[in-house]
Chain A
Amino acid sequence: MAIIIDDSSKVLVQGITGHQGRFHTLKMKEFGTKVVAGVSPGKGGQSVHGVPVFDTVHEAVEETDADTSVVFVPAPFVLDAALEAMGSNISTIVIISEHVPVHDAMRIVSLSLRKQKRIIGPNCPGVASPGKAKVGILPNQIFKRGDVGVVSRSGTLTYEIVDSISQAGMGQSTCVGIGGDRVIGTIFVDCLRMFEEDEQTKRIVLVGEIGGSAEEEAARFIAEHVSKPVCAYIAGRSAPPGKRMGHAGAIVSRGTGTAKSKIKALSDAGVAVATTTVEIPRLLEAQ
Chain B
Amino acid sequence: MNLLEFEGKQLFAKYGISTPIGELYDGSSPLEGASFPLVVKAQVPIGGRGKAGGIRVVRDRTELDQALKEQLGTTIKGHSVQNVLIEERIESEMELYLSITVDRSMRKPVIMASAMGGMDIESVPDGKILREWIDPSIGLQPFVSDNLIRALELKGKLADQFRFVLESLWRLFQEMDAELVEINPLAVTVDKSLVAVDSKVIVDDDSLFRHESLKKHARAITPLERKAGEKGIAFVQLEGDIGVIANGAGLTMATLDFLMLHGGKGGFFLDLGGTDDPEKVKEALLLAVEARPKVVLINIFGGITKCDTVASGLLQAFDEGCIDLPIVARIKGVNEREAIELLKDSKILPALSLDEAAKAAVDISSGA
Residues of A at the B interface (CB closer than 8 Å) are: 19-20, 23-24, 27, 75-76, 96, 98-103, 106-107, 109-111, 114, 125, 137-139, 141-142, 152-160, 163, 180, 182-184, 207, 209-210, 212-214, 217, 233, 235-240, 243-250, 254, 275-278
On chain A, the residues within 8 Å of B109 by CB distance are: 106
Q: Is the CB of B204 within 8 A of A157?
A: no
How near does chain A come to B125, taking the closest CB pair, in angstroms? 16
Q: Is the CB of B257 within 8 A of A276?
A: yes
Q: A99-B206, A183-B107, A217-B105 are in contact. Are A277 and B254 (CB under 8 A)?
A: yes
Q: Is the CB of B250 within 8 A of A209?
A: yes
Q: Is the CB of A154 within 8 A of B204?
A: no
Could you give, for residues 327-365 of chain B, a 1 whenever the CB lies within 8 Å of some chain A CB and a 0 otherwise? 000001110000000000000000001110000000000
Q: Is the CB of A19 within 8 A of B248?
A: no
Q: Is B115 an interface residue (CB 8 A)?
A: no
On chain A, the residues within 8 Å of B224 by CB distance are: none
Q: Is the CB of B236 within 8 A of A246?
A: yes
Q: Is the CB of B355 within 8 A of A249?
A: no
Q: Is the CB of B334 within 8 A of A139?
A: yes
User: Residue B250 contacts which of A99, A214, A235, A254 (CB distance < 8 angstroms)?
Assistant: A235
On chain A, the residues within 8 Å of B260 by CB distance are: 237-238
Q: Is the CB of A212 within 8 A of B301?
A: no
On chain A, the residues within 8 Å of B122 by CB distance are: 254
User: Residue A155 contacts which of B250, B332, B354 (CB distance < 8 angstroms)?
Assistant: B250
Q: Is the CB of A250 within 8 A of B253?
A: yes
- Number of contacts between A and B (CB, 8 Å)? 177
Q: A24-B304, A154-B249, A159-B303 are in contact. Are A239 and B256 (CB under 8 A)?
A: yes
Could you give, for residues 290-303 of chain B, a 1 whenever the CB lies within 8 Å of some chain A CB and a 0 otherwise? 00000000001111
6 extra interface residue pairs, beta carbon distance < 8 Å, beyond A102-B204, A153-B250, A154-B254: A152-B250, A156-B247, A157-B254, A159-B303, A183-B107, A233-B254
Q: A239-B256, A278-B355 are in contact. Are A109 and B105 (CB under 8 A)?
A: no
Q: Is B276 an interface residue (CB 8 A)?
A: yes
On chain B, the residues within 8 Å of A160 by CB distance are: 251, 254, 301, 332, 354
Q: Is the CB of B104 within 8 A of A249?
A: yes
On chain B, the residues within 8 Å of A180 by CB distance are: 249-250
Q: Is the CB of B234 within 8 A of A246?
A: yes
Q: Is B269 an interface residue (CB 8 A)?
A: yes
Q: A75-B206, A183-B107 are in contact. Are A139 and B302 (CB under 8 A)?
A: yes
Q: A102-B206, A183-B104, A213-B104 are in contact. Are A19 and B276 (CB under 8 A)?
A: yes
Q: What residue in chain B is nearest A24 (Cβ atoms)?
A: B304
On chain B, the residues within 8 Å of A102 by CB distance are: 102, 177, 179, 204, 206-207
Q: What residue in chain B is nearest A160 (Cβ atoms)?
A: B301
User: Residue A237 contacts which of B234, B257, B300 (CB distance < 8 angstroms)?
Assistant: B257
Q: Is the CB of A103 within 8 A of B333?
A: no
Q: Is B259 an interface residue (CB 8 A)?
A: yes
User: Residue A101 contacts which of B206, B234, B250 (CB distance < 8 angstroms)?
Assistant: B206
On chain B, the residues within 8 Å of A106 by CB distance are: 102, 107-109, 136
**Once the chains are docked, how many angstroms separate the CA of A103 from the CA of B334?**
33
Q: Is the CB of B249 within 8 A of A246?
A: yes
Q: Is B135 an interface residue (CB 8 A)?
A: yes
Residues of B at the A interface (CB closer than 8 Å) are: 102, 104-105, 107-109, 122, 135-137, 174, 177, 179, 204, 206-207, 209-210, 234, 236, 238-239, 246-254, 256-261, 266, 269, 271, 273-274, 276, 300-305, 332-334, 353-355
Q: Is the CB of A159 within 8 A of B301?
A: yes
**Once the chains are docked, how many angstroms separate the CA of A210 from the CA of B268?**
17
Write 25 A-B pairs (CB below 8 A) sorted by A numbering: A20-B276, A23-B276, A98-B273, A101-B204, A101-B206, A102-B102, A103-B177, A103-B207, A106-B107, A106-B108, A106-B136, A138-B303, A154-B251, A155-B248, A156-B301, A159-B301, A160-B354, A180-B250, A212-B104, A236-B253, A238-B259, A245-B249, A250-B250, A254-B122, A276-B258
Task: Specify which of B238, B239, B253, B305 lies most central, judged by the most chain A CB atoms within 10 Å of its CB.
Answer: B253
How near does chain B come to A115, taking the closest CB pair, in angstroms? 11
On chain A, the residues within 8 Å of B246 by CB distance are: 156
On chain B, the residues within 8 Å of A276 by CB distance are: 254, 257-258, 261, 355
On chain B, the residues within 8 Å of A141 by CB distance are: 334
**Once the chains are docked, how many angstroms separate the CA of A244 from the CA of B353?**
27
Q: Is the CB of A157 within 8 A of B303?
A: no
On chain B, the residues within 8 Å of A98 by CB distance are: 273-274
Q: A155-B248, A244-B236, A278-B354 are in contact. Are A209 and B333 (CB under 8 A)?
A: no
Give me the 7 closest cross-chain CB pairs, A-B, nearest first.
Answer: A154-B250, A246-B249, A156-B248, A157-B250, A156-B251, A247-B249, A101-B207
Q: A153-B250, A157-B248 are in contact. Are A163 and B332 (CB under 8 A)?
A: yes
Q: Is the CB of A110 within 8 A of B304?
A: no
**Once the chains are docked, how many angstroms separate the CA of A133 from the CA of B304?**
18
On chain A, the residues within 8 Å of B247 by CB distance are: 156
